[in-house]
Amino acid sequence: MIDAIIVGLGNPGKGYARTRHNVGEETVALLCKRLGLNLKAGRDKALVAETGMGDKRVVLAFPTTYMNESGQAVGALMRRHRLVEPAQLIIVHDELDLETGVVRVKVGGGLAGNNGLRSITQHLHTQDYLRVRIGIGKPRSKEQGTDHVLSRVPKAEREILDVMIERAADIVELMVAEGPDAAMQRFNGL
């Protein structure tokens, strides 16, 4: 029986690797590296790995759909593993409304214009799942939004994001072990 599903959002393909939009995917990849796992193609439009994390059984996943269709994979994974509680789902994603260098835990809430979250909410019919939000900052104008999330990241900012991905992985581990409240208490003030 699976206790939690951890999904890192992003876009598939080498062209999107290491962009701001893929920090969720990078976090799941780091968790797999820490656990000595490789994600493998699954039946649910996602790369997946099933493992133990402490005394909990978890599925780590990265949807193979584009970001705005992430709910297809997440909904299928939730059904396959018979999870009905939104609190059993942890979504790791980029967040325009947080400055680069900030990572926050959130339980439910709005979508903040994130099409991946919108898709997940449409498929699950709830917004009450857990989130690890990795700040990527806002572009100068709304018109630059797509370029901001999908373009290569300058070296200095990339170094900050790499540290935030490490922190996000630590947060996920704490959320699985002790729950979202413990993670919020420890990390939301940093």
Domains in the chain, ordered, with CATH? 4-187 (3.40.50.1470)
pLDDT at 189 over 90: no
Greater model confidence, 152 or 166: 166
12: helix, coil or strand? Answer: coil
81 has catalytic annotation: no
11 CB contacts (<8 Å, ≥6 apart)? Answer: 19, 21, 22, 66, 67, 150
- Identify the CA nearest to 153 among candidates 61, 62, 18, 31: 18
**Average confidence (pLDDT) over 89-99:** 95
Q: Is residue 87 within 8 Å of residue 180, measured between CB atoms?
A: yes
Give me the pLDDT at residue 144, please: 75
pLDDT digits (tens, 9 = 90+) for 95-154: 999 999 999 999 999 888 889 999 999 999 999 999 999 999 988 777 777 778 888 889
Give me the pLDDT at residue 71, please: 97
Q: Is residue 132 within 8 Å of residue 90, measured between CB atoms?
A: yes
At what angle are helices 155-178 and 23-35 packed, to 10 degrees?
A: 60
Confidence of residue 37 (pLDDT cuts 50, 70, 90): very high
Q: What percent of the chain has pLDDT over 70?
A: 100
Q: What is the mean pLDDT of the chain?
A: 94
Give me the pLDDT at residue 148, please: 84
Give me the pLDDT at residue 34, please: 97
Question: Rounded to an integer, what distance in angstroms lies between the CA atom of residue 94 and that of residue 148?
Answer: 11
Confidence of residue 13 (pLDDT cuts 50, 70, 90): very high
Q: What percent of the chain has pLDDT over 90?
A: 84
96: helix, coil or strand? Answer: coil
Give me the pLDDT at residue 51, please: 97
Sign, CA dihedral 126-128-133-136, equals: positive
pLDDT digits (tens, 9 = 90+) for 168-185: 999 999 999 999 999 999
Residue of 21, 81, 123, 148 marked catalytic: 21
Q: Residue-wise over 130-146: b if at least 16 C-beta within 10 A, else e?
A: bbbbbbbbbbeeeeeee
Give me the pLDDT at residue 106, please: 96
Give me the pLDDT at residue 74, please: 98
Give me the pLDDT at residue 14, please: 93
